[in-house]
Structure 1
Amino acid sequence: MNNKAKQPRELNIELLRIVLMILIVCHHFLMRGRGLHLLYTSGSTHINNDALQGLFMDSFLIMTVNCFVFISGYYGIKLRVKTILSLLIQAITYSIGIDIVFCLFTGEQMTMDSVWNGLLSVPNGQWWFITAYFFLYLLSPFLNLAKQYLTKFQFLYILGVLTLINFIIGFTLDPSPLGVLNGYSLLSFICVYFYGQAFSTYISFNKGKLFWLCSYVICSLLIFTMFDAGLKYSTVDMAWKAFSYNNPLIMVSAVSFFFFFKNLRISYAKISFFSSSVLAIYLIHEHPRSADFLTDHLNSFATTYKIGNVYFTFLLIAVMLFVAGTMVEKIRTAVTEPCLDYLVRKFNLGRLDSEMIKK
């Protein structure tokens, strides 16, 4: 396997993961807090200047999910049984825990359905990203074999087929048998994962930070231009496809954003304290109850107490949410990880890791 995949992640990539999660939170703030999601679900052709301003901002944020998965492919996921169990426990804890918190504040009764849904939160898709990423993680040992054992031609052939399915046919036609779902799917994640592997091994662009930053900005502007043009000269559905995760422009934007950070030099080691909590932030703010709460109250709060403008206020709230969520995650980890460590030792689950990498 390529040596680059064996190296520990650099601090600049850890910073990138933090930035991406804050931008994901901002994206959801725009969609729900500003009600932009209602424009999509209603198929409305009437989009006022305020909504257009929000969508312009979102064109710079929409690449975040692809960038996350690209990072995983670039460095290669190393499957560990403990990590699988840890992710499941993390999701179950936040699913049930957040339900309990809302029940305490609203006076509702906690039901067995809520507990059952919490226990099945990963396989039943309570968080679409977590479900797709979890099964990508399970498949990763076999996906990694492609780079390890296939020739360059064979690898690029598979990448070409996945590109055809996800970014060409899946984007322009989106036939249901392919299961692309506008990029909200495991298949799309596998495609992006392969792109990460390809750039770590076969594709090399020796460009500086300015090149990648300009590429990111230009792609983001083109995404918004694509939406605006689609709205004026085509159908509403075609316009909204500009914000689909399998839009090729979004993939280029994600790759550019990654390499901009890849070219940075960061030495602040405490970044790792926060970067280990990024998935927890996603679980907390995208829980159905949290999402509904943000939809109902966020915009009025940010408008009433705005600092500068509402978008800067959203950013500040996202940063505060990240910091607070990190503290919650550290407490959760302190409680659950010793139990998980005990189970791994008790049942010698670590042996499965070595079985997975046997040749």
Structure 2
Amino acid sequence: MSFVLVAVNCFILITGYVYYGKETKYYRLATLWIEVLFYSILILLLFYFMFPTEFGFEDVWKNIIPTFYTKGQFSRYWFFTAYVGMFLISPFVNIALKYFDKKQDLAAFLSLFIIFSLLPTILNQDMAFNLNEGYSVLWFVVLYYTGGLLHKYEIFKKLKSNKWLLIYIVCSLISWSIIYILESLGLIETGFGLYSFNCYLSPLYFIGGIALFCVFKNIKITKSFSISMIKFFAPVCFGVYLIHDNMIVDKYVLAKKFAFLANMDPISMIIGIILVGVGIFVACSLIDWIRELLFRKLKVKSRLANLEENIYLKFDNY
């Protein structure tokens, strides 16, 4: 787990890196929101016809507003919920990235790192700013700003890929070692946030995520086949998340279906987990590829872009 928990941090670092120096376009967020509604409502309808007695009015309401309905600790599609908040705040972060000099950026980064990562981890207390172990808008804003800094100062060029990879591996191994020791001593229940499996705030996962981002940023892809694969899978990754992480799909399709893997020997279990993961990813990718073709046919993105442009023009005329 310690080697993969950097994934969420990396996604937002990429967002901050990509949008650095760019004007905020709200149609992009609207496009993602429509995609969320598309799958939420479609999946509900499909399973309603298969299990009509299992769903009521509350289920319909939950799927109409999936990013605002909360259940338990986190909201449905918590990642997108936090992403929406971060996106709406990002124009102000972009202003800071544009006008701050190197000293101001360094002071801001160190302050954010200490206040929102280091101290909550050491003190095992993240509720002062409602950080929710990283499942929050505020933590996503910190990551977005960091991603912008990676672009602004080209941090990935400061070290070679093998050194960035070493940093990532060391951070992951330290996290794993601490967890293993605490589990062996029976103290894991009282561990700091650093020891939590779900704590994206951990300095080790934060630094490890930055390092892993820099590893891939330094990779030069030239083969046409690899480029084609990336172009195919990149647009559908969000759809993969929406499909397999949908609560209805989880309950009726995925829950307890792969528990048998836990009874295998370690090598077979690892191979089985990889195969299942790849299978789910490919299947969901093909489903979302159809959705992507439909959205292109309906010109969803271009229509929303034109709508936003027309709204700006009307405001300019006042």
1:166 aligns with 2:119: no
Map of 1:191 onto structure 2: 142
Deviates more, 1:107-116 or 1:321-330: 107-116
Q: 2:309 aligns with which of 333, 340, 350?
A: 350
Identity of aligned residues (%): 25
Cα distance in structure 2, aligned partners of 1:353 and 1:160: 37
Q: 1:265 aligns with which of 220, 226, 230?
A: 220
Summarize the Cα distance change of 1:87–1:313 in structure 2 as closer, same or farther, 3 Å threshold.
same
* Unpaired stretches in structure 1, ≥5 consecutive residues: 1-57
Summarize the Cα distance change of 1:294–1:109 in structure 2 as closer, same or farther, 3 Å threshold.
closer
Q: Which amino acid aligns with 2:32?
A: L
Q: Which amino acid aligns with 1:186?
A: V
Map of 1:3 onto structure 2: none
Map of 1:316 onto structure 2: 275
Contact 2:6 2:205 in 1 (8 A): yes
Map of 2:238 onto structure 1: 279
Map of 2:66 onto structure 1: 121
1:177 aligns with 2:131: no
Map of 1:248 onto structure 2: 203
Cα shift at 1:90: 0.8
Q: 1:69 aligns with which of 12, 37, 46?
A: 12
Contact 1:227 1:239 in 2 (8 A): no
Q: 2:191 aligns with which of 227, 238, 255?
A: 238
Q: Which amino acid aligns with 1:298?
A: F
1:213 aligns with 2:213: no
Contact 1:159 1:195 in 2 (8 A): yes
1:108 aligns with 2:61: no
Cα distance in structure 2, aligned partners of 1:264 and 1:172: 34
Q: Deviations over 1:165-208 (max 9, x none)?
A: 21122222324231111111111111111221222224635322
Deviates more, 1:308-317 or 1:254-263: 308-317
1:80 aligns with 2:25: yes
* Unpaired stretches in structure 2, ≥5 consecutive residues: 70-74
Contact 1:281 1:322 in 2 (8 A): yes
Summarize the Cα distance change of 1:313–1:159 in structure 2 as closer, same or farther, 3 Å threshold.
same
CA RMSD of aligned residues (A): 2.8
Cα shift at 1:146: 0.8
Cα distance in structure 1, aligned partners of 2:5 and 2:272: 19
Cα distance in structure 2, aligned partners of 1:152 and 1:210: 26
Summarize the Cα distance change of 1:169–1:351 in structure 2 as closer, same or farther, 3 Å threshold.
farther
Output the TM-score relative to the length of structure 1.
0.74
Contact 2:86 2:141 in 1 (8 A): yes
* Count, aligned residues: 297
Summarize the Cα distance change of 1:104–1:311 in structure 2 as closer, same or farther, 3 Å threshold.
farther
Cα distance in structure 2, aligned partners of 1:156 and 1:223: 26
Cα shift at 1:278: 1.0
Cα distance in structure 1, aligned partners of 2:313 and 2:144: 23
Q: Deviations over 1:304-343 (max 9, x none)?
A: 8999612221111211222221221122223345163575
Q: 1:299 aligns with which of 255, 259, 266?
A: 259
Paired residue secondary structure (1:176): coil
Map of 2:89 onto structure 1: 139
Cα distance in structure 1, aligned partners of 2:308 and 2:29: 11
Output the TM-score relative to the length of structure 2.
0.83
Contact 1:81 1:352 in 2 (8 A): no
Cα distance in structure 1, aligned partners of 2:310 and 2:109: 32
Contact 1:227 1:240 in 2 (8 A): no
